[in-house]
Amino acid sequence: MTGEVDLDARGLRCPLPVIELARLARDLPPGRTLVALADDPAAEADIPAWARMRGHTVTLERRGAHTAYVVVLG
């Protein structure tokens, strides 16, 4: 994974991490990768569910107190 972070949602609570990620993704082309950092436990269910509904793929990387969500837009 690259060092690029598109969204630092650490400290934001549900549903803000997924709302902000969806806002960023809205105007981007398929194939673009977004990296979001979040520490809200609800994001672990919310972000993959949102990605699935939109046809995106997502992988999670645990990094201590937060998780990096790597989303490839479909």
Q: How confident is the model at residue 5 (pLDDT cuts 50, 70, 90)?
A: confident
pLDDT value for 60:
96
CA distances for 48 relative to 51, 69, angstroms: 5, 9
Is 73 within a domain? no
Q: How confident is the model at residue 1 (pLDDT cuts 50, 70, 90)?
A: very low
- Residue 71 belongs to what H/E stretch? strand 66-72
Is 56 within a domain? yes
**Catalytic pick from 8, 10, 12, 14?**
14
Q: Could you report the per-residue pLDDT of 39-72, keeping only the tens digit for each?
A: 999 999 999 999 999 999 999 999 899 999 999 9
* Strand, coil or helix: 38: strand
- Domain count along the chain: 1
Residues in the chain: 74
Whole-model pTM: value is: 0.91
pLDDT value for 4:
81
pLDDT value for 3:
57
- Range of 54's domain? 7-68
Whole-angstrom Cα distance, residue 4 to residue 56? Answer: 19
Whole-angstrom Cα distance, residue 72 to residue 74? Answer: 6
User: Is 53 annotated in the active site?
Assistant: no
Look up the CATH number of the domain holding residue 52: 3.30.110.40
